[in-house]
Structure formats: C-alpha cells, structure tokens
Structure 1
Amino acid sequence: KYSLFRYFCHRFKEFVFEFRAGKYNCILKVPLQFPVQVNISDLHGRLMLLHKIPCYVENELKSTLSSFIEKETTLDYDKEAEVALQRLTTGDVDVNQLASAWARSYAESTLEHARPEEPSWDEDFADVYHELIHSPASETLLNLEHNYFVSISELISERDMEIKKLQERQAAEMDKVMHELGNTLSDHDVNAVASHHFDAQQVLENKWTSELMQVTCIQKKEYQDWVVKLHQDLQKSNNSSKINEEIKVQPSQLSEEADSGARMFEEQPQLEESFTIHLGAQLKTMHNLRLVRADVLDFCKHRRHGSSGAKLRRLQTALSLYSSSLCGLVLLVDNRVNSYSGIKRDFATVAKECTDFHFSCLEKQLEEVQQVLLYARVQRSSKQKEQFEIQKNGGDDKSKSVERNPSNILPGNGCTLNSEFYVSRHSNLSEVHVVFHLCVDDNVRSGNITARDPAIMGLRNILKVCCTHDVTTVTVPLLLVHDMSEEMTIPWCLKRAELVFKCVKGFMMEMVSWDGGISRTVQFLVPKSISEEMFYQLSNMLPQIFRVSSTLTLTSKH
C-alpha cells in the first residue's frame, strides 16, 4: 500500500535553466531526485563548478533552483495528501486509529501535554532531612539516631557474646574428642564433630544476620516516617521546644563506656599537624593540609559515650550530608568486591553498627558495583578481544586468573588504565560521607614504585572525582598502607611520603582546571603504629614540598 509513496520518494524531475553567454543561448538540464536530500547551497556550488557556469548568473541560478525545488516538493506533498485522502474515503484507513495516532504524537511533542515527573521518595526525604538538620530540631534527630545506634550496638554485643560462648563450648568438645582419638574414636568421628560444629556456627551466624537485618529495616522505616511527621508538625507549629523534649539520650547508655573510652584516647593520643598552602600558577587557591596519625576506621566509628567532640563531629557530618562540602576517605582494598576479609571486613563491621537511614546498606551497594563491573568487563572484552586472546595464549598466570574472575577489579601491573576503584555512600559513619575503595596489590609494599604506579594514578582519579562531585575534604593514606611492617624502615617511609606528597601536590594544581579553583582540605593519614619521631619527620617534610603560608613581619627604620 506504500507503492505510490515509494514512487514519489524516488521520482526524478529535470531542472532546466536558460541563460545567455555572450552571443550564445545556453540551456542547463539537471535531473534531480525528489525529495531533495542535499543542501541547496552545496548543490548550487557543484553545478557552478561542474558545468563552468559564468559568475554573473550565479545568483539567478541559485534563486531559480530554490524556486524549482520548493515548487516541485509542494506538488509532491499535494499528490501524497490526495492519495491519503482517497485511502481515507475508500475505507482503507481506520479513522479512529488515525485520530488516536495524531493525538498521541501531538501530546508527546507538546510540553503542556507532557506527564509530570513523579516525585522521588529519596529526593523528598533528602529535602525534608536537610531542612530539619538545619533547624532547632537537629538535636532531636541526633538523639534519635544515637538511640538507634546504641540499640544496634547492644544487639551486636549480644551476638558476639553468644558466638564466643558457642566457640568456647565447641573448643572444649573438640579437646575431649581429640583426647579419645585412637582409643574409642576414629578420624571419621573427629571429622563428623568438626562438621557439626561448623554447621552450628553457620546456623547461629545466619540467625543473627537475619535478626540484625530485620531490626535495621524496622529502624530505617520508623526513622524516615518519624522525620516526615516531625517536618509536618513543625510546619503546623513554630514551637519546636516541645518536640525537642521528646527524645533524649539515656544517661545509662553513656555511663558504661565513657570512662573506658576516655582512658583509651589518653593512652593513644591522636597526633595531628595542620598547614595552610596556596597553589596555582596565576590564580592562587588556598588549601588546608593535615597530617594525622590514627587508624583509618577512626574516621568511621561512632562512640557510644557522649563526649562533646564526638557529638560535634556527628552534627557536622549530618549538616553536610546533602551539601557541596562532602567528606571522603580512601580505603586500600584488594581486587575482590566483597566484605569478607581484611580491612574490608572490619569496615563492613563498622558500617553495620549504625543503621544507614539515607542510602542502601553496604552489601547492596557492593552487589550493584559487581553488576556494573561485570558489564564493564563485557564491554572491554568486546573492544579488546585480540588482546585477551594473546593473554590466553601467552599470558602469565596472573592475567589468566583475572580472566577467569571477571567480577574482580584489576589492581594494575603498571598500566594507568588499571588504577580502578569503586565508591560507596554512607550517612551512618562518624566523619565520612563517601568511601573510595582503591584497589592495590602487594606492589605498594615495595620501595620502588613510581609516579606512574596504578595506586598513584588511582589517587589522581579519586581527586578528580572529588572535584566533580563536591567532595571538599578527603583523607589519603600517606604511605599507601594501613599497617606498618618490618620492611617499612625509616628510609622507606621518607621515600614513600616524599613521592605521595609531590604527586598529590601536582594533582592539586591540576584541580584548578577541573573545578576552577576551590579551597579543599586534604588529610594525609599515617598508621597509628608509627613512632612520634617518624611522624614529626614527615611533618617537617610537608612544608618543604608544599608552599606553606606564613606571616611576614616587616620592620622599617626612620
């Protein structure tokens, strides 16, 4: 039924143009295919050049060509319209279906008929929370969050105690079994007891995991509903003093660990040095630098004792949760995206101690990272199929193991493309909103890494993400390790610190082209086990590499 339409689409018409060149009458005949797909100005230029048309008829040719194309195009549209009307009158086309198609096309292309976007619950809750945390009701919110945190902490303590008792009981049973081995019991009996113990531990751990997940979901639902209701009540009444009296931190929750927590911090004081620098070629930008000796998880842990410092840090984190002044932390992890071992397990334990009322739990975020990672691997494999074939045929064992595990992140082997990291968002950590999980391998413990090492390039990419996503405070492991070991001597530490200082300085100077020059705070973190002497050596090195602002005193003689 579209034969006539195809005929019109592929019909040729002859364009005729007459002009006089001296004593000769010239005629130009050009077949044109309609509808004309080329630009008229381009077609006119080609005709002038191909047929050597005199320049004094250039404008006349262009106007005649334009009029001819416009006229013939209109005639084609008229004929097409007549054919369509004939099909309509003969009943070949359903009138109702045609009217519905026209109405749908008009509604989809007209803004006033567009469907309004459905409000997002996450965005609405974020707006409500941001307004409340900057109001007198902020203390009420913090008290409620602290009460929930204490409840989860008590539940976790109960879980740990029950698991510990089970392990002690199983250890005693295993000692008895081993004592009877060879007399009344065989190796088969020992294996059966060990298997039974393992199953019992799994059942107990799954039971507590399910219970903690259920309590966390209940707390999150209750908290979000209560925040929305509180916002509605505050809109109706300007008197918030009564609401602030609803929730208070129970004194019994603070008394047990206040003294022990204070003693702990007195035994291991946190060393810190602060500096102010100006970086930039023409336009100088002021930045704050800190050198801190602490454990990396100290920036994530909440403290059950109600010290004023901990409360202020929690308030500051809550105030800047939905703002352009976020706080980030670089966590050094291996290439497996999970939370089952090492620092990842310790971080996951801290993240579970307090319910996240704004974002998904860590396990769900890691699942999303794995899905994105698998998709990225498929995309890369399709574009670099030949390279993967070469690795399969002649690659080393390491590349083959990575190939067999596409859900792993590449720690890098000197290639800057492999400096990968993944990001998790949190509202339940003490001083951090964003955690950058930087993938490193054992190469960072050697003393011969350079500025092109994947870990260094990963820091550069992280700082670039900080610039594009409003992370104005970022904590970076200065030595690219979280714990000290025997091979990390004084020369090793000084060499590594100098490398990271210089690289970060270069990256910060690049920030001007990334964000236009915004003042930021970079915290260089060193392990808690480092000596005070080494800490102050690193502190003296920092102002030598960065230009530290200092007061200049001028004296004049009269």
Structure 2
Amino acid sequence: MEVEFPIDSDGDSTKKISIPIPLPKYTNIEDWVRKVCASETSLDYEDVYRKLRDFIRSETRKYEDSKNDVLILSSMSKNFAFPQIPKDHQRQPSFAEKFQFVVSKCSSQNLITLMQMEVFMKKEMTEMIRARNWEVEELTRKCEKVLDEHNDDMHPHQISMLNEKLRQVYVTYSHQVAQLSENQRQKYRKSVDSLFSHGSLPADFIEEIDLDESHFMGPATNSTNAEGVNESFTIYIGAQLKSMHNACLVTVDTMTDICQTFEGDWTTSSRLEMATKLYGRNLAAVTLLVPRDPMHHVTSSTKFQKLCEQSTELHFEPLAEQLNHVKTSTRQGNIWRAECVEKDDCGEKQIKPQLHDSVLSIGDVYCTKHSNLHKIQIVFHLVADDVLQSVEISSRHACLNGIRNIIKMTAHFGITSIHLPLLLIDRPDESTTIQWCVKRAEMVYKCVKGYLMEVCGGAANLESLPHYNVHFVLPSGLTPSIYTTIANMFPSIFHLVPSVSITL
C-alpha cells in the first residue's frame, strides 16, 4: 500500500509525497529522505530524516499490526494459547545499539581511548600468535632434522613421542589463545557498557593498557597491488534511468590479501574509521572462493582463518562459531532441498541431497561478519570447485547465480563496496590461456552488469539511486597481454561516463 507524507513548503499549502509501505526491497529511509529534499530544496535534511523516519516506522507498524490482527484472530479461532510474558519484562538494548550510541554520543577522548584499547588488544594477541608460530616452527624443524638423521634406525615410539610433543604445543597455545580472546572480549564489552551507562571507562581497565601506540606499532608496510592491472572507471547502469557507479580492475595474489592488515595499519584512526562504518549502510565486502565443506577454513587452517585469529573478534562471533552456524543451516537447507526434489513433478533427473548432509552445493553462498579485518566488514564465501579452473561456463552456471545472490545481498544490507573474482579462480595454471581468460571475463562482466541493473531497477522511483563500488579482481601470475586485453574489453561492455576536459 502507499501512504502520503506531508511536506511543509514555504507557502500556506502543504505538498505530499507518496511512499510505499513497507518500503520496497533495496531501498531504505535515506533514499526517500533524499527524494523529499530534492522536491523541496529549502528543507533541512536532518529534520526531514527525523520526521520521515518516525512516519515510516509508524505507518509500517500500523500495516504490520493490521496483518497481525488477522493472524491473531485466525489463531484464536483455533484455540491458540499465547505465552505468558512477565509484567516487568523490558527489552534491553543490544551490544550493537550500545556501541552505536557510544560512537555517536560519547566524548572524543573516551572514544579514542576505546580505540586505543582495541590497538593494545591486537598487540597482545599478535604477540601470542607469533610466539606460538615460532615455537611450532622450531619444534617442527627439530623433528624433521631428527627424522633425516635417524630415518633408518629410529624406533616408531620415538616418532610418536615427537608427534605428541608437537600436538601438546598446539593444544596448550589453543587454550591460551582462547582464554586471552575471551578475556579481551569481556573487557571490551564491559567498557562499552560503562560508556553507555555512565559515560566513562572503568579506571582499572585503562590502567592495564598501554595507550602509547608508538611502543608497539611497527612501520607501515607497502600494501600495493601485485603486478598486473589497476584501473578505475566510472560507469552508467540502467537503460532509461541511469545510475552512476565506480568500477575497478585490480590484481592481487589472493582474494584474502584484500582484507589483510599490515604492520602499521592497525591504528587508532583506522579503528575509528571501522567503528563509524561497522553498523552503517556503507559496508565493504569481499568474495572468497571456497570448497563445499562449510568448516573448510577451520579444518584446513586457511590463510583467511590465520588472518582472523591475529586479533580478537570483539563485535561478532569468532569465525569458527559463525561457520558452525553455517554448518547447521546447511544441514537444514539440504533437508529442504531433498523434500523439494521429492515433490518435483517436472520429470527431470536431479541429484538428491543426503538428509542431514552438511555439505554445500556449488554456487551456494554464506557470509561471515568481521570487525577485525582491513576495511572489510562482510566476507561472502562462494562455493566453487576445480572444474571452474578449465571449463567454459554459461550464464546459467551455479557460481554466476551465486554472484547474483551476492549482489542482491549487497543491495539489501547496505553494502556499497564489493570485491568479486573476475575469473572465478584463485590461481592461474597451464590451462589458463588468453582465449579462456577473455571468454570468462566477458561472461562475468556481462552477468554482473545485468545483476546491477536488476538491483538498481528496484529503486527506479527514487530521485537518488544507489551507488556501488565494484572491484573486479584478477589473480596475479597472468601474462601482461591478458591483463591488457581484459582491461581494453571493459569499455565495450559497460557504458562509461564521458570524461570532462577543462581548458584553462
């Protein structure tokens, strides 16, 4: 349904603007505020935002209440019993709400101190991880040396003792890392609670940390892209109503490098930047290609998992817990898929998922949330297989459908910057010819263009359309001619914004 929102104009009359309730997909309150302000330039943005927010919330509540009344009456006619809610029950604000309040309302000095606490916690965890890695490497080197020197006459029991010693080191450090992570998480959340409730940090917490970053921050490391291509374009998306977006072609060794924090990057200013964006609608995301096991990062100790453990996840669940939830959801999803296959009457032969199977299907996407990565808050994990490394694919391939779902989620959850693997591979090999790369890049280019048109079309009735920064990522190791050809192909597929020349 649509409701009319009154706009106070300069004259005696009052203009009105129609707003659909509930709001359409891929739109939010900010989009409609910009439309209202565009229709009446004399209005104050903050005032319109506050009034329109309350208006939309009120009308949405009325709409939902009317729907709920119908459901309640229907349930009551079937002798449905409502649960008893205590009279003194009161909803407590979540940690996310408390943190947003702290970022927007508390003093700058307290906020800086809170960010310095994050930097200090990062230093503590990094030192422990480095100590563990050094001890494991030293012990592994000694074991290999002993095996090389006494390979023929070494008793199996001695080999077992060496393996047990190595395992014990892993177990000991795992407990220490888990304990430190839990302690840091509790201290940080108590600090946020204290700022939210009292406007100050606990004195004993401040005394425990070193607020001088120069004592433990190393020099900044050069984090430039790998050799290849690094070009930016401004493009139009849409047929009649065009929206402007940024597109980049970049080269990295691995997709994980995009969210890697280098020495000197973890500073108070960088943490402040993350704090202001973490719960907003200008999030940044990266897409990783993963196998079908949802616990792959943990069981294989991937580079991404090692990157996540360098600092404690203070806002969201640790990576392992998030992946456990994915595993549970995968099992439930496969049960639903099996039931759908049983009910399918189209006569086509389909692979029936095993009940209670926690293995994902090609093209599935799951996401994890992070506050301890470099300028990345969301990580999409796209399930792929080795077949993508060599075969040609069509626009109906499951992985391209996964890319479509990723772009839909970026529009729905306020993600404005997204990194996508252009060739849908991690590393090139001997089968990665220039013809294959050009065909694959062209296919992904065209599909992403169509997906962007789809999500931008949902906001066609707005004056201000969404703006995206799309990064097409190429792996390093390709020949220079491949990079050049793929870059030159871009203007033939996307509509570039004409450049403006200024003559002085």
Band the TM-score falls in, shorter-chain normalisation? 0.7 to 0.9
Distance 1:133 1:521 in 2: 31
Deviations 1:434-471 (A, max 9, x none): 11110011221124111111111110011111111111
Higher mean alpha-carbon deviation, 138-147 vs 154-163, is at 138-147
What amino acid maps onto 2:250 in structure 1? V
Call closer, same or farther: CA 1:536–1:147 in 2, change over 3 Å: farther
Deviations 1:459-494 (A, max 9, x none): 001111111111111110111112121211222222
Structure exhibiting the larger radius of gyration computed from Cα positions: 1
Q: Which residue of 1 aligns with 2:369?
A: 425
Distance 1:249 1:453 in 2: 52
Q: Which residue of 2 aligns with 1:254?
A: 217
Q: Does 1:174 align with 2:153?
A: no
What amino acid maps onto 1:170 in structure 2? C
Partner-residue secondary structure (3-state), 1:337 = coil
Distance 1:458 1:133 in 2: 41
Name which of 471, 480, 486 aligns with 2:424: 480
Contact residue 102 and residue 195 of structure 2 kept, 8 A: no
Q: Which residue of 2 aligns with 1:147?
A: 120
Once the two structures are TM-superposed, the CA of residue 515 in structure 1 deviates from its matched residue by 4.5
Distance 2:162 2:185 in 1: 35
Name which of 476, 483, 503 aligns with 1:535: 483
Distance 1:446 1:461 in 2: 24
Distance 1:321 1:361 in 2: 16
Distance 2:482 2:211 in 1: 44
Once the two structures are TM-superposed, the CA of residue 203 in structure 1 deviates from its matched residue by 1.9
Q: Which residue of 1 aligns with 2:8?
A: none
Name which of 453, 462, 479 aligns with 1:509: 453
Partner-residue secondary structure (3-state), 2:366 = strand
Q: Does 1:382 align with 2:382?
A: no
Name which of 310, 319, 338 aligns with 1:362: 319
Q: Which residue of 2 aligns with 1:70?
A: none
Distance 2:198 2:493 in 1: 55
Distance 1:513 1:343 in 2: 41
Call closer, same or farther: CA 1:146–1:531 in 2, change over 3 Å: farther
Q: Which residue of 1 aligns with 2:164?
A: 199
What amino acid maps onto 2:469 in structure 1? T
Contact residue 305 and residue 319 of structure 2 kept, 8 A: yes
Partner-residue secondary structure (3-state), 1:499 = helix
Distance 2:436 2:235 in 1: 26
Distance 1:163 1:407 in 2: 32
Q: Which residue of 2 aligns with 1:520?
A: 468
Distance 2:184 2:501 in 1: 58
Distance 1:503 1:376 in 2: 26
Q: Does 1:549 align with 2:500?
A: no
What amino acid maps onto 1:353 in structure 2? Q
What amino acid maps onto 1:477 in structure 2? P
Map residues 382-401 of structure 1 onto 2, 5 A cutoff. Answer: 382-385=339-342
Q: Which residue of 2 aligns with 1:222?
A: 187
What amino acid maps onto 1:207 in structure 2? T
Name which of 308, 316, 326 aligns with 1:351: 308
Name which of 354, 367, 384 aligns with 1:403: 354
Call closer, same or farther: CA 1:277–1:313 in 2, change over 3 Å: farther
Total equivalences in the alignment: 413
Contact residue 128 and residue 227 of structure 1 kept, 8 A: no
Call closer, same or farther: CA 1:266–1:427 in 2, change over 3 Å: closer
What amino acid maps onto 2:234 in structure 1? T
Q: Which residue of 1 aligns with 2:247?
A: 289
Contact residue 253 and residue 304 of structure 1 kept, 8 A: no
Q: Does 1:440 align with 2:440?
A: no
What amino acid maps onto 1:253 in structure 2? F
Q: Which residue of 1 aligns with 2:12?
A: none
Unaligned residue ranges in structure 1 (runs of 5+): 1-104, 237-242, 412-418
Deviations 1:281-305 (A, max 9, x none): 2211111111111231222222232
What amino acid maps onto 1:461 in structure 2? N
Name which of 131, 135, 157 aligns with 1:162: 135
What amino acid maps onto 2:177 in structure 1? L
Q: Which residue of 1 aligns with 2:279?
A: 322
Q: Compute the TM-score of the two structures, normalised by the length of structure 2.
A: 0.73
Distance 1:326 1:134 in 2: 25
Distance 1:554 1:141 in 2: 46
Call closer, same or farther: CA 1:503–1:172 in 2, change over 3 Å: same
Structure having the higher helix fraction is 1
Once the two structures are TM-superposed, the CA of residue 275 in structure 1 deviates from its matched residue by 1.1
Q: Which residue of 2 aligns with 1:300?
A: 259
Call closer, same or farther: CA 1:429–1:129 in 2, change over 3 Å: farther
Map residues 323-338 of structure 1 onto 2, 5 A cutoff. Answer: 323-338=280-295
Call closer, same or farther: CA 1:532–1:174 in 2, change over 3 Å: same
Once the two structures are TM-superposed, the CA of residue 326 in structure 1 deviates from its matched residue by 1.2
Partner-residue secondary structure (3-state), 2:382 = strand
Call closer, same or farther: CA 1:341–1:144 in 2, change over 3 Å: closer
What amino acid maps onto 1:407 in structure 2? S
Higher mean alpha-carbon deviation, 266-275 vs 456-465, is at 266-275
Map residues 14-33 of structure 1 onto 2, 5 A cutoff. Answer: none
Call closer, same or farther: CA 1:380–1:315 in 2, change over 3 Å: same
Contact residue 417 and residue 468 of structure 2 kept, 8 A: yes
Partner-residue secondary structure (3-state), 2:217 = helix
What amino acid maps onto 1:408 in structure 2? V
Distance 1:344 1:133 in 2: 39
Distance 1:224 1:318 in 2: 14
Once the two structures are TM-superposed, the CA of residue 177 in structure 1 deviates from its matched residue by 3.4
Once the two structures are TM-superposed, the CA of residue 506 in structure 1 deviates from its matched residue by 0.7
Distance 1:323 1:312 in 2: 18
Once the two structures are TM-superposed, the CA of residue 149 in structure 1 deviates from its matched residue by 1.1
Distance 2:397 2:226 in 1: 33
Once the two structures are TM-superposed, the CA of residue 431 in structure 1 deviates from its matched residue by 1.5
Call closer, same or farther: CA 1:350–1:554 in 2, change over 3 Å: closer
Deviations 1:513-533 (A, max 9, x none): 345541111111111333555
Deviations 1:213-272 (A, max 9, x none): 110111111112223334556479xxxxxx9xx9634323234xx27x34xx47956852
Call closer, same or farther: CA 1:502–1:343 in 2, change over 3 Å: farther
What amino acid maps onto 2:247 in structure 1? L
Partner-residue secondary structure (3-state), 2:496 = coil
Q: Does 1:470 align with 2:443?
A: no
Distance 2:427 2:198 in 1: 50
Once the two structures are TM-superposed, the CA of residue 405 in structure 1 deviates from its matched residue by 7.2
Name which of 229, 236, 260 aligns with 1:278: 236
Distance 1:338 1:365 in 2: 10
Greater relative CO, 1 or 2 (CA 8 Å, sep 6+): 2
Map residues 21-170 of structure 1 onto 2, 5 A cutoff. Answer: 116-131=89-104, 135=108, 137-170=110-143
Partner-residue secondary structure (3-state), 2:313 = coil
Distance 2:106 2:469 in 1: 23
